[in-house]
A = this chain, B = another copy of it.
Amino acid sequence: MLPIAVDAMGGDKAPLEILVGVRQAVDDGIPVVLVGPPDLDHDADIPLIPASELIAMDEEPGSAVRIKKDSTLVRAAEAVRDGNASAMISAGNTGATMASALLRMGRIKGVKRPAIATPIPVPGSTPTVLLDAGANAEVQPEWLVQFAQMGSVYARQRFHMAKPRVGLLSIGEEPGKGDSLRKDAFKLLAVAPGIDFIGNIEGRDIMSDTVDVAVTDGFTGNVTLKTLEGGMKALIGALLEAFSAEEYREHAAALMPALLPLYTSLNPDTYGGAVLLGVDGVCIISHGSSGATAMRNAIGVAAEMVEHHMVDEIRDAIAAGA
């Protein structure tokens, strides 16, 4: 397998934690090529693609990618395009990661718009894959059908679901519920090839075992994802606060063995990040807060996507659905 190109400078914990995660992946037998400044202090056995520029987290993605041609993100995407890497990963600027992948790798033929697929943890079950998680603030009904098809390929490969259940995120279960986008999309999804469409779902279904692929526009998807992140954080913070009083500490500590597996199963790091589906190459968008474990997991996910020829499978699914 060609090495996986990892942006050494992306994310809040770059480069140190990124390098630790890369080290772990390499030690586990996954080839990696770092993309970073020529003078990056890194282990000599890991190759480096030099890139002299950095796109910051808050830079405007479109112009940053056009102007900074020697940035880590642009160089990583070029490495995939030119056959020097099998996949790219960054925990940096999400928009710029998308723009680099889109501009350098291009779209898979027939794909109207790439979409971000994000696995949302479900306690005691496989995750729900949400897309679009933020690539397209405004969408057309036909795009949602492709999101469903691409998301189904991803759910099958990544989580070994034989027949992922696709739900359209709306505000009521009946077919007529929702805005005009949802009503139109429902009709198209009901007859679309290559997916198992179960109808409308509601927000409360996302973290339950009723749906595998939740399809929505990038505005709703992004709000949904961040709302869940904030809600979980608030609840866990409140629990820790409640348990921190002297008289509870001992009991809380005794419960840790029960809490840790739950924490791991709900931690987004476990899934290594989101995947940009629809571009002609594997592109993983890791959370800006990614540490070593998240990066190690992201590299594992990328390797799996490459080995299972996910891009080709999406190509086939789009061609069959076109």
Chain B residues, Cβ within 8 Å of A208: 230, 234
- Contact: A226 with B238, CB < 8 Å? no
CA separation between A252 and B243, bound complex, in Å?
A: 11
Task: Tell whether A233 pairs with B245 under 8 Å between CB atoms, given A220-B223, A238-B123, A255-B255.
Answer: no
Check: A169 CB closer than 8 A to any chain B CB: yes
Check: A161 CB closer than 8 A to any chain B CB: no
A248-288 toward B: CB 8 Å interface, digit per residue (1/0)?
A: 10011011001101100110000000000000000000000
- Contact: B227 with A206, CB < 8 Å? yes
Chain B residues, Cβ within 8 Å of A261: 242
The answer, among B219, B227, B237, B245, for a CB contact under 8 Å with A178, is: B219
Chain B residues, Cβ within 8 Å of A123: 234-235, 237-238, 241
Closest B residue by C-beta to A261? B242
CA separation between A227 and B133, bound complex, in Å?
A: 14
The answer, among B220, B230, B239, for a CB contact under 8 Å with A262, is: B239
Check: A122 CB closer than 8 A to any chain B CB: yes
Closest B residue by C-beta to A130? B227
Check: A191 CB closer than 8 A to any chain B CB: no
The answer, among B179, B203, B234, for a CB contact under 8 Å with A229, is: B203
- Contact: B224 with A203, CB < 8 Å? yes
CA separation between A93 and B61, bound complex, in Å?
A: 45
Check: A63 CB closer than 8 A to any chain B CB: no
- Contact: B124 with A238, CB < 8 Å? yes
Check: A304 CB closer than 8 A to any chain B CB: no
How far does the Cβ of A225 sit from chain B's closest Cβ, in whole Å?
7
- Contact: A203 with B179, CB < 8 Å? no
CA separation between A106 and B69, bound complex, in Å?
A: 60
Chain B residues, Cβ within 8 Å of A124: 238, 241
Chain B residues, Cβ within 8 Å of A206: 227, 230-231
- Contact: B230 with A227, CB < 8 Å? no
Chain B residues, Cβ within 8 Å of A122: 234
CA separation between A254 and B247, bound complex, in Å?
A: 9
Check: A218 CB closer than 8 A to any chain B CB: yes
Chain B residues, Cβ within 8 Å of A178: 137, 219
- Contact: B248 with A231, CB < 8 Å? no
CA separation between A51 and B174, bound complex, in Å?
A: 29
- Contact: A245 with B223, CB < 8 Å? no
CA separation between A34 and B137, bound complex, in Å?
A: 46
8 A-B pairs (CB sep. < 8 Å): A124-B238, A203-B222, A204-B226, A206-B230, A207-B227, A208-B230, A227-B231, A238-B265
